């Protein structure tokens, strides 16, 4: 006989209690949502350390682009002077050619008046050169030696003038290209700095405080490393003095002429402390890093190139252990920063946008950031 018992609803047990199908579906949905929440990626906002690194990288990239800007600016200035000189020369030569053409025209007119020939003035003006004209009209044989000399001078001057015009045209083209490079470098610097400002502007007050604490910790570590270097250099100097006889000189000590020049460079640099870093600036109210070192050594009578990757080749490379006051300390693989060593592991430099010329440990960005030390004179 068929059973009249109803089939059991499909369900599950939760803590020993059978749950209906609808409740089971609800629980399943909750479980799935919980899993989804757990599996969802965490807030992808970068950590404070990542922000700091990104900002530092952007400032470094901006400094590198600043060097490109400085180089293009210097090149533009030189090329503009060259173009101006060439154009002035061409203008003067053109004036002389016009005067000579008038004189040659008077020669032709004189021949016409004597009946020796009937030259056409239009033919003279349209001829490729006066020589061609006089050859065509068979007047050269009838000209006096003074007149022939005038023709020869005209032909020679015309050739030189044409060459100068070509040089001026090429220089103008080069100047246009360099000005384009200058514009590109300027835009790159501005973009990097804007990106850095945007990153910093997104930080909360608490995050900015934490960032300042991280920076302070880095400065303390840099100061510790600078003190270690100062001790090492002092020990090395003492050992050298003890091993030196009166007839010998200390190998690591700079000569008196260098020390005198370095003292002047350092005195100038110290007088700039507190002035703002401005990219592309060479003083007197603001500086970028290479602008400061260039100005400092110029005050000592030594001309340094404008940009860091040229300054690094403007002297003798020495080891960090042998660094002396006045030496240039370069940073990073791309040589995008430079400071003026003052001794005891410290330097004077124009650090970055938003900062001011200051004394700071050469380890301000870690020992690995130091590229080389150069003695410029």
Which of 226, 289, 295, 328 is labelled catalytic?
Answer: 289
Q: What is the Cα–Cα distance from 134 to 145, expressed in whole angstroms? A: 14
Q: How many CA atoms lie within 13 A of 172 on its CB side?
A: 9
> Known catalytic residue: 289?
yes
- Given the DSSP bridges, would you call strands 370-375 and 316-318 parallel, antiparallel or unpaired? antiparallel
**Could you tell me where the beta strands, DSSP code E, fall in the chain?**
12-14, 17-19, 316-318, 328-331, 337-343, 346-349, 358-361, 370-375
Tell me if 337 sits within 8 A of 63, measured CB to CB.
yes
Instruction: Give, rounded to a whole angstrom, the gap between the first and last alpha carbons of the chain.
Output: 117
Tell me if 168 sits within 8 A of 92, measured CB to CB.
no
Q: What is the Cα–Cα distance from 167 to 163, expressed in whole angstroms? A: 6
Tell me if 333 sits within 8 A of 371, measured CB to CB.
yes
Tell me if 357 sits within 8 A of 273, measured CB to CB.
yes
Closest CA to 53 of 200, 153, 247, 157: 200
Tell me if 351 sits within 8 A of 336, measured CB to CB.
no
Q: What is the Cα–Cα distance from 211 to 56, expressed in whole angstroms? A: 12
Q: What is the DSSP string of 247-274?
A: TS--TTSPPHHHHHHHHHHHHHHHHTTT
* Region of 179 on the Ramachandran plot (φ > 0 left; ψ -120 to 50 alpha; else beta): alpha
Which of 93, 337, 371, 375 is labelled catalytic?
Answer: 337
> Which 8-state DSSP code applies to residue 358?
E
> Known catalytic residue: 349?
yes
Question: ∠ at Cα 111 (107, 112), nearest 5°?
Answer: 115
Which of 73, 75, 261, 349 is labelled catalytic?
Answer: 349
Tell me if 219 sits within 8 A of 361, measured CB to CB.
yes
Closest CA to 350 of 274, 298, 267: 274
Catalytic residues: 289, 337, 349
């Amino acid at each position: 006989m068929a059973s009249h018992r109803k089939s059991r609803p499909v369900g599950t047990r939760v803590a020993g209690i059978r749950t209906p199908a609808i409740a089971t579906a609800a629980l399943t949905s909750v479980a799935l949502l919980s899993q989804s929440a757990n599996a969802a990626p965490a807030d992808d906002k970068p950590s404070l350390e990542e922000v700091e690194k990104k900002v530092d990288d952007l400032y470094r990239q901006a400094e590198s682009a600043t060097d490109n800007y400085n180089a293009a600016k210097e090149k533009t200035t030189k090329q503009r002077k060259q173009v101006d000189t060439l154009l002035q020369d061409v203008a003067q030569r053109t004036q002389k050619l016009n005067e000579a053409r008038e004189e040659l025209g008077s020669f032709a007119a004189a021949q016409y008046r004597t009946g020796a020939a009937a030259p056409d003035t239009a033919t003279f003006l349209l001829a490729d050169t006066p020589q061609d004209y006089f050859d065509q009209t068979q007047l050269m044989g009838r000209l006096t030696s003074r007149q022939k000399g005038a023709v020869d001078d005209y032909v020679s001057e015309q050739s030189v003038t044409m060459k100068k015009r070509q040089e001026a045209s090429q220089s103008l083209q080069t100047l246009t290209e360099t000005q384009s490079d200058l514009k590109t470098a300027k835009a790159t610097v501005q973009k990097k700095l804007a990106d850095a400002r945007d990153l910093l502007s997104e930080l909360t007050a608490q995050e900015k405080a934490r960032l300042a604490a991280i920076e302070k910790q880095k400065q303390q570590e840099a100061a510790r490393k600078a003190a270690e270097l100062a001790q090492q250099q002092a020990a090395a100097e003492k050992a050298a003095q003890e091993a030196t006889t009166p007839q010998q000189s200390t190998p690591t000590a700079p000569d008196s002429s260098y020390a005198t020049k370095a003292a002047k460079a350092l005195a100038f640099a110290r007088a700039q402390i507190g002035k703002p870093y401005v990219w592309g600036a060479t003083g007197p109210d603001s500086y970028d890093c290479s602008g400061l070192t260039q100005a400092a050594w110029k005050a000592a009578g030594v001309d340094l190139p404008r940009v860091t990757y040229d300054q690094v080749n403007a002297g003798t490379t020495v080891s960090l252990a042998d660094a002396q006051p006045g030496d240039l300390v370069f940073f990073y693989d791309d040589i995008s920063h430079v400071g003026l060593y003052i001794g005891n592991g410290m330097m004077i430099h124009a650090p970055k946008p938003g900062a001011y010329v200051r004394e700071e440990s050469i380890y301000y960005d870690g020992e690995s950031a130091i590229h080389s030390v150069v003695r410029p004179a």
